[in-house]
Amino acid sequence: MLTVGGGRENVDVYFVLSAAPGDSVILTPLNDDGTAAGLAERVGRADLPASVEAAESNDGGPRPRWVWRDTATAYAPLLAAGVRVERCHDLRLSHAILRASSLTAETALARASVSQWDAAAPLQAPGAAGGAGAGTRAGAGAWEHTALFDLSAPQPGDDQTLASARAGAGETEFPGSEPGDARPGEARPGEFRPAEARPGETRPGDARPAETGTRTTATTTVTRTISANEADDLAEFRLQLDAISASPDPNRLRLLLAAESAGALIAAEMSHAGLPWREDVHDELLTELLGPRVAAGLRPERLERLAERIRVETGAAQLNPDSPADVLKALRNAGLTALTTRSWELEKLEHPAIAPLLEYKKLSRLLSANGWSWMEAWVTDGRFVPDYVPGGVVSGRWATRGGGALQLPKQVRRAVTADEGWMLVVADAAQLEPRILAGISGDAAMAGAGRGTDLYAGIVASGAVSTRAEAKVAMLGAMYGATTGESGRLLPRLARAYPTALAFVENAARAGGRGDVVTSRLGRSAPRPGEEWWEAQARAAEGAANDAELSRARQQARDWGRFTRNFVVQASAADWALCWMADLRRTLASFAPLAVPGRAAPPFDREPHLVFFLHDEVIVHTPAERADAVAAALRASAAVATRLLFGSFPIDVPLVVSIVASYADAA
DNA sequence: CGACCCTGCGCG
DNA sequence: AAAGCGCGCAGGGTCG
């Protein structure tokens, strides 16, 4: 059976999980500096959940950190078996961050050639989430990776030999480092962070994981055969540890990677649990708005009536209201000058066809995006199970693949309903991005404007602008790089009141315009512009470009500047949100199980668990009895995240928390 | 028929 | 070009 750290306490031990031939997995225990911590063990996949659970229990000792290529693929089968892990290190996500980060720019990892570690997230097998079934998903034919760890399936011929020497585990005490950030503030120690790695500290008998051959040491020598996968994983992990310790601020990156990996665990857990979804409520809502369900491809009654009215009012008997070109032609024939068929554009027009057209567009959108077909494809057994893609956006935001989980319209949120005896705790970080801007720029005036209050109201109170709406549009303009319109007009006033914050985003924009790399609070860097961009800039700088090319080059430089201007804010907000959720997850896991009737999938059937995340908002599904405690935990974790990012800088990120039966009732 | 782009709109 | 960031998705339309 697996043991961790020979019973020592306060030692981070990693278990690297690698696919091995014969439907098995190799677990290699490592110390936090990448040296061997014990003998590797081979476990059949069927027995893996039990082994993992045993290591997680460890009699009150430290929990291991699981190191694996891809959390979604590795963790889903564990969850399906009801087994949860506390911490992990996602090699692929970590690689992506370290590859791009300005903090690890000169490391071997950053200079390595493009490899399997730079590949996109593997696709999830339908139904891998466990709790809910596979369903019929659009594009299901594209699923490829169904096996456990098959990013590159092990070939028997690929095996090589490596000495894995048992180093004197247990001989030396390695207390964990202080918590992640250089300015940890009041953060609770020891949370979701890997302990300090110790470069240069090598003990006799340690085997470098990537070494081959047999090594005799003062203790024991073990020679065994390992798969190419295992060698790759160990080598990559070491490369990452080296890159981190070589960075100017290792703790910053350790925190980021721990939070990113925790996010991957959360995504897997949310897909396992699913978002509670009342199909009957959804169906009722659709029927009320659209008319009774009809076969896919047909228009429900209400839509058909609207389409007919539009045809009558425009005099276009054959009009297809789903075709923008058709609609445009019909409007012109009716004497209207419309350039596009966008709703906000049509709203300005005065004509009897406009009202039914706008209503048609609204309802038709509901039908195609979240109608019955969508429900059939994505909701199973009362759970909406989207496929989250942690790290799917360069800023660190998540993406989704299918299901449109990040665009759940307010129209259908009524269907998101807690199980009987359970509640939803919905929490939203109010005005997160401008607050993050105040934090990263160190703008005390802006931070002060938001302390304990609505930030936009605080900006109004400072006298910079006169209404909340103005404050909001001006702030958004500052973060997005508005140059014209109301937003552009208000910017100078904002800049006078908050010069530090405005200078910060201005600098980020200038850096981007030069092609320089910008970086989030915790160390996630934006990509550099592509080859084409550089070529255009070079031609412009050499004076080789004609007027059109010159203005295009300048335009591209401004565009990239707007991207980097926004990146520093958006990516730092994503840093914060990941820390928030990671800390929350740890707290929720510590709640005593509660025997309540419910339909939540084990291991979450007796305790609060995250079911939804959207940039600055989360939903926790909880036994009703625990709802208040969950609300308190959400606030506490927000405070932890704020301290982890900003230390003692006097800033707060207040939450708007609602305890509701239905998502539609959240504030 | 699929691959691809465009339009439009949902979310933050 | 709604004034400016980041996304995903569906449907129409075109091309090969």
pLDDT band at A130 (very low <50, low <70, confident <90, very high): very low
Residues A409 and A359 in one domain: no
Residues A328 and A284 in one domain: yes
Indicate which CATH number applies to the domain containing A402: 3.30.70.370
Of the ranges A28-37, A155-164, A218-227, A465-474, which one carries the lowest mean pLDDT score? A155-164
**Separation between the CA of A635 and the C1’ of B2 (whole angstroms):** 50
Burial of A383: CB neighbours in 10 Å, binned 0-12, 13-18, 19+? buried
**Separation between the CA of A554 and the C1’ of B2 (whole angstroms):** 38
Q: What is the DSSP letter of A43?
A: E
What pLDDT, on the 0 to 100 scale, is given for residue A539?
93
Residues A586 and A620 in one domain: yes
Residues in A 326-365 whose C-beta is less than 7 A from nucleic strand C are: 326, 340, 344-345
Tokens, residue A75: 């963790």
Q: What is the DSSP letter of A205?
A: T
Residues in A 552-571 whose C-beta is less than 7 A from nucleic strand B are: 570
Residues A521 and A444 in one domain: yes
pLDDT band at A11 (very low <50, low <70, confident <90, very high): low
Top pLDDT among A33 and A213 is at A33
What pLDDT, on the 0 to 100 scale, is given for residue A221?
45
What pLDDT, on the 0 to 100 scale, is given for residue A212?
36
Write down which residue in A570, A604, A633 finishes a domain: A570
A426 touches strand B (CB under 7 A): no
**Separation between the CA of A485 and the C1’ of B2 (whole angstroms):** 43
In a domain, A350, yes or no: yes
A323 touches strand B (CB under 7 A): no
Report the alpha-carbon distance of residue A483 to residue A480 in Å, rounded.
9
Indicate which CATH number applies to the domain containing A333: 1.20.1060
**Separation between the CA of A122 and the C1’ of C11 (whole angstroms):** 28
What pLDDT, on the 0 to 100 scale, is given for residue A224?
59
Residues A312 and A334 in one domain: yes
Q: What is the DSSP letter of A166?
A: B
Report CA torsion sign: A362, A365, A370, A376: positive
Q: Residue A6: is its pLDDT beyond 50?
A: no
**Separation between the CA of A265 and the C1’ of B8 (whole angstroms):** 35
Residues in A 400-429 whose C-beta is less than 7 A from nucleic strand C are: 400-404, 406-407
For residue range A446-470, what is the model confidence (pLDDT) as tens digits? 999 999 889 999 999 999 999 999 9
Report the alpha-carbon distance of residue A239 to residue A226 in Å, rounded.
19
What pLDDT, on the 0 to 100 scale, is given for residue A206?
31
**Separation between the CA of A477 and the C1’ of C11 (whole angstroms):** 32
Question: For residue A262, which of A63, A429, A555, A467 has the smallest C-alpha distance?
Answer: A63
Residues A373 and A396 in one domain: no
Q: Residue A205: is its pLDDT beyond 80?
A: no
In a domain, A182, yes or no: no
**Separation between the CA of A321 and the C1’ of C11 (whole angstroms):** 11
Indicate which CATH number applies to the domain containing A475: 1.10.150
Write down which residue in A539, A570, A601 finishes a domain: A570
Provide the 10 A C-beta neighbour count for residue A68: 26
pTM of the model: 0.86
Tokens, residue A259: 């939070």
- Cite the DSSP H helix spans in A467-605: 468-480, 485-497, 499-514, 531-542, 547-589
Q: Closest nucleotide (CA of A479 to C1')?
A: C5
In a domain, A183, yes or no: no
What pLDDT, on the 0 to 100 scale, is given for residue A595?
85
Strand-strand pairing, A24-31 and A655-660:
unpaired
- Judge whether A436 and A573 are in contact, CB under 8 Å: yes
In a domain, A187, yes or no: no
Residues in A 462-501 whose C-beta is less than 7 A from nucleic strand C are: 473, 476-477, 480-488
Q: Which domain holds residue A220?
A: 5-120+156-165+203-248
Q: Closest nucleotide (CA of A297 to C1')?
A: C11
Angle at A3 between CA A147 and CA A243, to 5 degrees: 65
Report the alpha-carbon distance of residue A491 to residue A468 in Å, rounded.
14
Report the alpha-carbon distance of residue A147 to residue A132 in Å, rounded.
18
A359 touches strand B (CB under 7 A): no
Burial of A219: CB neighbours in 10 Å, binned 0-12, 13-18, 19+? middle
- Judge whether A611 and A619 are in contact, CB under 8 Å: yes
A192 touches strand C (CB under 7 A): no
**Separation between the CA of A189 and the C1’ of B6 (whole angstroms):** 52
**Separation between the CA of A66 and the C1’ of B1 (whole angstroms):** 46
Residues A307 and A403 in one domain: no
Strand partners, A423: A622
- Cite the DSSP H helix spans in A274-353: 279-290, 301-314, 324-333, 343-346
Residues A529 and A645 in one domain: no
Residues A497 and A403 in one domain: no
In a domain, A421, yes or no: yes
pLDDT mean across residues, chain A: 84
Q: Residue A138: is its pLDDT beyond 90?
A: no
In a domain, A135, yes or no: no
A344 touches strand B (CB under 7 A): yes
Residues in A 217-276 whose C-beta is less than 7 A from nucleic strand C are: none
Q: Closest nucleotide (CA of A397 to C1')?
A: C6
A434 touches strand C (CB under 7 A): no
In a domain, A522, yes or no: yes
For residue range A310-353, what is the model confidence (pLDDT) as tens digits? 999 999 999 999 999 999 999 999 999 889 999 999 999 999 99
In a domain, A145, yes or no: no
- Judge whether A314 and A334 are in contact, CB under 8 Å: yes
Residues A548 and A418 in one domain: no
What pLDDT, on the 0 to 100 scale, is given for residue A228?
83
Q: Residue A202: is its pLDDT beyond 60?
A: no
A529 touches strand C (CB under 7 A): no
What pLDDT, on the 0 to 100 scale, is given for residue A5?
41
**Separation between the CA of A572 and the C1’ of C6 (whole angstroms):** 13
Report the alpha-carbon distance of residue A300 to residue A292 in Å, rounded.
7
Nearby residues of A337 by Cβ (< 8 Å), 6 or more positions away: none
**Separation between the CA of A171 and the C1’ of C3 (whole angstroms):** 64
Residues in A 362-381 whose C-beta is less than 7 A from nucleic strand C are: 367-369, 374
Determine the average pLDDT of the residues in A259-281: 97
Burial of A516: CB neighbours in 10 Å, binned 0-12, 13-18, 19+? middle
For residue range A50-82, what is the model confidence (pLDDT) as tens digits? 999 999 997 777 889 999 999 999 999 999 999
For residue range A601-649, what is the model confidence (pLDDT) as tens digits? 999 999 999 999 999 999 999 999 999 999 999 999 999 999 999 999 9
For residue range A467-507, what is the model confidence (pLDDT) as tens digits? 999 999 999 999 999 999 999 999 999 999 999 999 999 99
Q: How many domains does chain A have?
A: 4
Write down which residue in A380, A412, A444 finishes a domain: A380
For residue range A143-177, what is the model confidence (pLDDT) as tens digits? 222 222 222 222 222 222 222 222 222 222 222 22
Q: Residue A427: is its pLDDT beyond 70?
A: yes
For residue range A522-540, what is the model confidence (pLDDT) as tens digits? 999 999 999 989 999 999 9
Phi, psi of A206 (to 5 degrees): -65, 135
For residue range A536-560, what is the model confidence (pLDDT) as tens digits? 999 999 988 888 889 999 999 999 9
Residues A111 and A233 in one domain: yes
What stretch of H or E contains A253?
A: helix A250-273
Residues A19 and A77 in one domain: yes
Q: Closest nucleotide (CA of A340 to C1')?
A: B7
